[in-house]
Amino acid sequence: MKEVVVITGASGMIAHELLKKIQNDYTVRFLTRKKKRENDYEWDIKNQTVDEAAFENVSHIIHLAGANISEKRWTDERKKELISSRVDSAKLLLNTLRKKNITLKSFISASGINFYGTKTTEKIFTESDLPGNDFLSEVVVLWERAADDFKEQNLAERVVKIRTAVVLSEKDGALKKMIPTIKNYIGSPLGSGKQYMPWIHVKDICSIYEFALKNPHIHGAYNAVAPEHTTNENLTKKIAEVLKKPLFMPNVPAFVLKLIFGELASALLEGSRASSEKIRKEGFQFEFPELKKALEDLLNN
């Protein structure tokens, strides 16, 4: 009998791609706001309600739920929503497990590479480094703390936190937004362009979740970031190169981004490098460690 995996964040691109990887080995159920498929189960984070049938015989939860960081300006209300979608959703899962007296084999939670702070430095951050002191790092710290509660309250044998970099996919996220501007000859780097941009191919992030699920020795925090580092400027140039399009436009000035996005602009204008050595030492191998080959795979298909 296959082990049951419950996945939150059902509408996201990672959940969609991850299903393809693990559906032959596991029984997969999704928690979602509105049921669309046979294996969907409804939950309401705001009202803290969930269809408890989703948890029958569950062994693993992969917690991907979380409102999009870069979708809207960070008003006070939006900031609360960004935290709640991650923390209150985890609390609902935890309370349901406690109520049903269930102990998971693993609770695997999405997390963010912004744990280390939104700043451009020459430091390459590792999992042993302390968190930053800005809003995004605060979000990630609270997110991870909610995940750690599952182990501390003996509701999961192990907890894994996947500190995710910018996920490159032609179907969603940053890359999807950049493609049309470059194709239409209006693409350009943001601000100085010198800010580092930790990245990972969508296939590799899904493989990391699969790796964490299938290897019981994996626990704690891991940077999910490709080994090759890049800047915003270099990423823009590489996309243009793969698309065979020239870049004519000057860099987008920082003040313009601040006017448009407010505080959110910091996430676009700043960024540091992070090391993937820890996950590689555990035995994980990246399919796309190099940016050029990752972009060729995504843009030439």
Q: Which token pair is 124?
A: 């390459």
64: left (phi over 0), alpha (psi -120 to 50) or beta: alpha
Predicted local confidence at residue 300, as pLDDT: 87
Percent of the chain with pLDDT strictly greater than 90: 85
Distance, in Å, from the CA atom of 188 to the CA atom of 190, rounded to the nearest integer, reads 7
Q: Is the pLDDT of residue 53 over 90?
A: yes
Predicted local confidence at residue 236, as pLDDT: 96
Q: Is the pLDDT of residue 259 over 90?
A: no
Q: Is the pLDDT of residue 115 over 90?
A: yes
Which residue, among 228, 203, 226, has the nearest Cα to 113 in the 3D structure?
226
Predicted local confidence at residue 36, as pLDDT: 87
> What's the mean pLDDT in 201-213?
98
What is the tally of helices (H) and strands (E) in the chain?
Answer: 10, 12
Distance, in Å, from the CA atom of 149 to the CA atom of 169, rounded to the nearest integer, reads 32
Q: Is the pLDDT of residue 24 over 90?
A: yes
> What's the mean pLDDT in 147-152?
98
The amino acid occupying position 83 is I
Distance, in Å, from the CA atom of 293 to the CA atom of 285, rounded to the nearest integer, reads 15
Predicted local confidence at residue 253, as pLDDT: 85
Position 260 confidence tier, pLDDT thresholds 50, 70, 90: confident
Predicted local confidence at residue 74, as pLDDT: 93
Q: What CATH fold (topology level) applies to the domain 4-165+201-225? A: Rossmann fold (3.40.50)
Residues in the chain: 301
Distance, in Å, from the CA atom of 158 to the CA atom of 161, rounded to the nearest integer, reads 10
